[in-house]
Amino acid sequence: MLGVSAEAVYAAVKTNRLSVVNGRDGKPLVNTETMREEWAKNTQTRIGMGPKPPGPGREKKPLRSREERMKAPEERIGKTKESIPDYDESRARTEHLKAELLELDRQQKEGLLVRAEDVEHQWIEIITMARTKLLGIPTKAKQRIPDLDTDAIGVLDDIVREALEDLANNNE
């Protein structure tokens, strides 16, 4: 009914992954009403290692001893000779990354994080406004101090531009 060997069912009963009920004769029997649900809930499958449907050419292979299984680790290595990570390890990594993404999303919604593009755009606006204000100093000085001659306005303009160039060159 589950598409697995009798040994797998015995192991599941032994490790309490499947519940048993006592039959009329007192022998323990697997509860067929909850068997599929309990199997799915309590048994982890590895990718590519799930139950295979019976069919032609799927004869039961003889069980190998532990020593025989340990001698052939190449069978567990892919064609590229790279080891495949354990399912539990892969699942843990995936869950950890999902949790990190959710945490970043939460912090962004709370206003603790902002997008780098938004910060850059805002700084460009601030710097442009400051540059415009500084370049306007000589004109405002002429309006407020009418006695300034054009040479003094030119000197002020040169000082402001020199300061802006120095600031621009420090970032390079």
pLDDT > 70: percent of the chain: 76
- Whether residue 142 contacts residue 156, with contact meaning beta carbons closer than 8 Å, is answered with no
pLDDT digits over 20-76, tens only?
A: 888 788 887 877 777 888 877 877 655 555 555 555 555 555 666 656 655 555 554
pLDDT of residue 104 exceeding 70: yes
First to last CA, the chain: 72
Mean pLDDT of 12-21: 81
Please state the φ and ψ torsions of residue 86, each to the nearest 5 degrees.
-60, 145
Q: What is the pLDDT of residue 123?
A: 93
Residue in 67, 85, 65 with CA at minimum distance from that of residue 77? 85
| % of the chain beyond a pLDDT of 90 | 31
For the purposes of burial, counting CB atoms within 10 Å of the CB of 39, is it exposed (0-12), middle (13-18) or buried (19 or more)? Answer: buried
Q: What is the pLDDT of residue 84?
A: 76
Q: What angle do CA 84, 88, 92 make, to 5 degrees?
A: 110
| Res. 81: pLDDT tops 80 | no
Which strand (E) or helix (H) includes residue 22? strand 20-22
- Confidence band, pLDDT 50/70/90 cuts, at residue 78: very low
Chain CA centroid to CA 104, Å: 11
Is the pLDDT at 125 greater than 90, yes or no?
yes
| Mean pLDDT (whole number) for 84-92 | 85
Residue 4: closest CA among 53, 40, 61:
53
Phi-psi region of 59 (alpha: psi -120 to 50; beta: other; left: phi over 0): beta
Ranges of each domain in the chain: 1-43, 65-113, 116-170
Q: Quick one: tokens of 44? A: 């982890």
